[in-house]
């Protein structure tokens, strides 16, 4: 109850878009929500899912302003944290790395700054990360390779720099990978050919260079590849013809030849 009161006051609760969530009422904390089940669209609030402890905090597009409280780290049974499309500022608390049960982290479309905490690499049960549409800086740590259960990784539309770590090749459960609209440099790791489940690959609008990796041809489930607006050179690999599921290949605004 105290932790949810901290959430309310640190994110300008009196001015949230929806005020029918029973926050700060005499009802049990597990009833501080809009009564829509947590697996449905439009869910808002706190959900315990049949237990006495909080399992989901879902506040997508609800006008939350202010900062993300570090006290979330005390919710050791938390499975999902969705505070995307709000007006949150400040950095992502490093203490979130203590949420070892977390499966979903959605903080997209805010104005968060700073770097991506390396402590998030401890959350080995994560299967979905969306930090897109913020003002995050710094590099993508090689430790990201520890998140082997990830199916979607969305880091696009930030100010990330540096090269893509070769350890991305360890994320073999990935189906969706987006780094577009950043300031990434360097070449594409050949280890990307290990992502056999990958369906969507977005790295457009960066400063990537080198040749297009022939190893992509091993990812035969790929549906869409978008690598336009970079500085790739060389020819289009003939091996790309092996990707028979491919529906879209976007490689314009590079320096390709042949």
3 state SS for 98-109 = HCCCCCEEECCC
Residue 230: HSE in the Cβ half-sphere, 13 Å Cα cutoff: 29
Specify the pLDDT at position 9.
97
Is 112 in contact with 91 (CB distance < 8 Å)? yes
Specify the pLDDT at position 77.
95
Residue 209: beta bridge partners?
231
Q: What is the DSSP letter of 232?
A: E
Name the nearest CA neighbour of 181 among 225, 230, 144, 143: 230
Mind listing the pLDDT tens digit for each residue in 18-51?
999 999 999 999 999 999 887 788 899 999 987 7
Question: With 90 as the cut, is the pLDDT of residue 202 above it?
Answer: yes
Q: Indicate the pTM of the whole model.
A: 0.96
Confidence of residue 199 (pLDDT cuts 50, 70, 90): very high
Q: What is the average per-residue pLDDT within 76-96?
A: 97
Neighbours of 23 (CB within 10 A): 20
d(C-alpha 55, C-alpha 131), whole Å = 20
Is 186 in contact with 162 (CB distance < 8 Å)? yes
Specify the pLDDT at position 5.
96
Residue 258: HSE in the Cβ half-sphere, 13 Å Cα cutoff: 9
Residue 241: HSE in the Cβ half-sphere, 13 Å Cα cutoff: 3
Q: Is 55 helix (H, G, I), strand (E, B) or coil?
A: coil
Mind listing the pLDDT tens digit for each residue in 143-190?
999 999 999 999 999 999 999 999 999 999 999 999 999 999 999 999
Q: Are β-strands 56-58 and 248-250 bridged in parallel, bridged antiparallel, or unpaired?
A: unpaired
Question: With 90 as the cut, is the pLDDT of residue 236 above it?
Answer: yes
């Amino acid at each position: 109850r105290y932790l949810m009161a901290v959430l309310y006051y640190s994110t300008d609760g009196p001015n949230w878009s929806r005020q029918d969530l029973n926050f700060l009422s005499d009802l049990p904390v597990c009833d501080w929500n809009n009564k829509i089940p947590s697996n449905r669209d439009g869910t808002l609030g706190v959900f315990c899912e049949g237990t006495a402890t909080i399992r989901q905090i879902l506040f997508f597009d609800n006008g939350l302003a202010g900062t993300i409280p570090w006290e979330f780290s005390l919710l050791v049974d938390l499975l999902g944290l969705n505070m995307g499309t709000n007006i949150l500022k400040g950095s992502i608390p490093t203490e979130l790395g203590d949420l070892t049960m977390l499966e979903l982290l959605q903080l997209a479309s805010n104005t968060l700054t700073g770097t991506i905490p390396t402590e998030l690499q401890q959350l080995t049960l994560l299967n979905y990360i969306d930090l897109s549409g913020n003002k995050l800086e710094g590099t993508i740590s090689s430790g990201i390779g520890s998140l082997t259960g990830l199916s979607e990784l969305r880091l696009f539309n930030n100010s990330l720099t540096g090269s893509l770590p070769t350890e991305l090749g360890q994320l073999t459960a990935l189906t969706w990978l987006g780094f577009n609209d950043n300031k990434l440099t360097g070449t594409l790791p050949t280890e990307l050919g290990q992502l056999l489940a990958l369906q969507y690959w977005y790295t457009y609008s960066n400063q990537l260079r080198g040749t297009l990796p022939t190893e992509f041809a091993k990812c035969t489930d790929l549906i869409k590849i978008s690598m336009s607006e970079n500085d790739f050179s060389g020819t289009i690999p003939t091996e790309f013809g092996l990707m028979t599921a491919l529906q879209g290949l976007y490689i314009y605004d590079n320096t390709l030849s042949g």
